[in-house]
Amino acid sequence: MIVPAFGQELKIGVVNVPALMANAPQAAAVTDALTAEFQPRQREIVAKQKELEELTEKVQRDLAVMGETERRNAEKDVRELQREVSRLQNEFQEDLNLRRNEELGILQRALLKEVQEYAQSAGFDLVVGDGVLYASSAVNITENVLRAMEANFQAAGN
């Protein structure tokens, strides 16, 4: 404990924010929700990739018996489908990243609120997170905050 000039002890705690983000049940719920939200689009992309693969194989297989015009049209179809698959993948990744960042922001705010509530209820004067070079286990309150987050998650009916 640190004793300030006026003689009252300070209660200091340390939180491992990355560990909370990784282990909080809220984080798993966010991952599950994003998976459910984006799974239909993922399946669509996989189907288009399979379609592209089948078309490419068909064109390669029939190349010897195709006329010049038919070959050009088939190659054009393959290129168009490649572009569509690429576009779908890029849009999917962009949308997923945006949603993940939104949800992570919400999760970080909830985590901060939980740390603040725990610190106030447990009488902490100071709680630090990022940028800590060393903290003994005596001041590490990560597990306590994680238990509080788990209890709140269960109380919310999740």
pLDDT at residue 99 greater than cutoff 60: yes
Q: In this predicted model, what pLDDT tens digit does every residue of 29-45 receive, in sequence order?
A: 999 999 999 999 999 99
The pLDDT tens digits for 117-141 are 999 999 999 999 988 888 888 899 9
Contacts within 8 Å (CB) and 24+ apart, 45-49:
45/85, 45/88, 45/89, 45/92, 48/81, 48/84, 48/85, 48/88, 49/85
- Predicted pLDDT at 7: 61
Q: What local confidence, expressed as pLDDT, does residue 112 receive?
A: 93
**Tens of pLDDT along 73-95?**
999 999 999 999 999 999 999 99
pTM of this prediction? 0.76
